[in-house]
Amino acid sequence: MASLLHRPYNFSAGPAAMPEEVLAQAAGEMLNWPDASGKRCGMGVMEMSHRGKEFLSIYTQAEADLRELLSVPANYRILFMQGGGLAENAIVPLNLSALKKDAMGRGAADFVVTGSWSEKSFAEAGKYCQAKLAAKADGFTSIPEASSWQLNTDASYVHICSNETIHGIEYHSLPDLKTLGSKAELVIDFSSHVASRSVNWNLVGLAFGGAQKNLGPAGLTLVVVRDDLLGSAMEICPSAFNYQTVAKSDSMYNTPPTYSIYMAGLVFQWLKRQGGIAAMEAANVAKAELLYRTVDGSGFYFNPVQRDCRSRMNVPFFLRDASLNDAFLAGAKEAGLLQLKGHKSVGGMRASIYNAIPLAGVQALTAYMQDFERSHG
Ligand SMILES: *Cc1c(COP(=O)(O)O)cnc(C)c1O
């Protein structure tokens, strides 16, 4: 099916496809931004003061829309920061590891390593606190049973990556630390599945994610944090990365990534027009089912991830005959299916099917996969 602007489908893992309606709207507003009443203000969004009434209205609307979409409770703060998911690997321990301290004043945190991203988080946190490995999945094709995690009583928080973008592993329900006997806070890196499904905030102390997978352009980092976790940052924490400082100034301690916030705000409005997160989740389930069914139903392709934790957003798949990889990718490009090459650390293919990829895009992909199998199988 032809897309709005006759563009190919883009399966990039991130920065990733944006909804075409949003790109078209931003193009129309690029030179001279109109307010909600349609009145043009004479400037483009990236030329505005972040403290002016025009940008403040964009900011306030974006925050309110996100709070509504993700059902963020009133006692959680939404912070629009910079630095990406990787900077948060340092910023989270700088802010939260000292919620509990030992006699030496050092905090601790537990890590569940299920793929490349949680592995990076674990390594980085060790610079700022005692980072402890609570569990690690062999080969990154499953999530260790939560009841087997070695949780430490001195841990201030437990870090998980709720969707491993590279290995295609997703928690389909979040662990309830209380029932596991832990008094720590749950921290989730939800970079690559935020806004694809609902979040049970009762279980979560802090969630963070870079915007460039499922929310908008790179440059914006979203942090959602329960307000009682603010104010325990380590002394060495940079002021611009101190959640309390950022929260007190409504993400305006320093200049926020204004254009990325505006674009994410347009995505939030688009999500509301699609019917919100429940409607997106249903669409994402249908897209993922079609793709996994196609992979599993063939003897030509395979996906090694245990079925109960397969990602709905990032679907790695492999050709059994890897010598056909280049031909597969070349044919895909020809068919209008872009950026399917798997991450270099795992090889094969990966289709990232974020919110902006319609079912028609996955149908085009699976039709191509079946054609390719018929001609090469
Ligand atoms: C992409 C990604 C990151 C890294 O984000 P940057 O913005 O590049 O720092 C971290 N965690 C997850 C799960 C990701 O998908």
Instruction: List the residue whose alpha carbon is closest to atom 4 of ligand 1.
Output: 85
Q: Please tell me which residue in 117, 132, 287, 341 is annotated as part of the active site.
A: 117
When pLDDT is averaged across residues 110-125 and rounded to a whole number, the result is 98
Q: Is 99 helix (H, G, I), strand (E, B) or coil?
A: helix
Mean pLDDT of 65-90: 98
pLDDT at 3 over 80: no
213 is catalytic: yes
Q: Which of 100, 149, 189, 287 is catalytic?
A: 189
41 contacts 54 by C-beta, under 8 angstroms: yes
Where in the chain are the domains? 45-272, 276-376
Q: Give the CATH fold of the 45-272 domain.
A: Aspartate Aminotransferase; domain 2 (3.40.640)
Q: Which of 160, 161, 189, 191 gets mutated to test ligand 1 (max ligand atoms within 8 A of its CB)?
A: 191
Q: Which residue puts its alpha carbon closest to atom 10 of ligand 1?
A: 85
Ligand 1: residues with CB < 6 A are 14, 84-86, 117, 161, 165, 189, 191-192, 210, 213
**What's the pLDDT score for residue 104?**
84
Q: How confident is the model at residue 63 (pLDDT cuts 50, 70, 90)?
A: very high
Residue nearest atom 14 in ligand 1 by C-alpha distance: 191
Q: Give 1's pLDDT tier (boundaries 50, 70, 90).
A: very low
Residues 6+ apart with CB under 8 A from 291: 315, 317, 351, 353, 362, 365, 366
Predicted pLDDT at 102: 86
Instruction: Say whether pLDDT at 4 is over 80.
Output: no
Mean pLDDT of 271-294: 98
CATH 3.90.1150.10 for domain 276-376: yes
- Catalytic, 201? Answer no
Q: pLDDT digits over 329-339, tens only?
A: 999 999 999 99
SS3 90: helix
Q: Which residue has the tokens 């688009």?
A: 270
227 dihedral zone (left: phi>0; alpha: psi -120 to 50; beta): alpha
Nearest alpha carbon, ligand 1 atom 13: 191
Q: Dihedrals φ, ψ of 77, to 5°?
A: -95, 140
Mean pLDDT, range 53-63, rounded to an integer? 98
Query: In 236-270, which positions are buried (b, 16+ CB within 10 angstroms) versus exposed (e)?
Result: ebeeebbbbbbbeebbebeebbbbbbbbbbbbbbb
Q: How far is residue 294's CA from residue 366's CA, in Å, rounded to a whole number?
A: 6
Q: Which pLDDT does position 254 carry in this prediction?
A: 96
Instruction: Give the nearest ligand 1 atom to 14 CA.
Output: 1
pLDDT at position 150: 97
Residue whose tokens read 């919100």: 276
Q: Which residues neighbour 351 within 8 Å (Cβ) at sequence distance 6 or greater?
A: 11, 291, 314, 315, 317, 340, 362, 365
Top mutation candidate among 92, 119, 190, 192 for ligand 1, by most atoms within 8 Å of CB: 192
Residue-level pLDDT at 5: 56
pLDDT tens by residue, 344-376? 999 999 999 999 999 999 999 999 999 999 999
Band of residue 96 on the pLDDT scale cut at 50, 70, 90: very high
- Average the pLDDT over 312-323 and give the result: 98
Query: Which residue of the set 33, 65, 132, 213 is catalytic?
Result: 213
Out of 80, 82, 86, give the residue to mutate to test ligand 1, the one with the largest number of ligand atoms within 8 Å of its CB. Answer: 86
What does residue 225 show for φ and ψ, rounded to 5 degrees? -140, 140
Calculate mean pLDDT across residues 315-331. Answer: 98
The per-residue pLDDT for 111 is 98
At residue 243 the predicted structure's pLDDT band, cuts being 50, 70 and 90, is very high
The answer to whether the beta carbons of residues 277 and 195 sit under 8 Å apart is yes
Q: How far is CA 276 from CA 62, 92, 174, 207, 282, in A?
A: 14, 29, 21, 19, 10
Helices (H) and strands (E) in the chain, counts: 9, 14
Closest CA to 267 of 70, 54, 76: 70
Average pLDDT over residues 151-169: 97
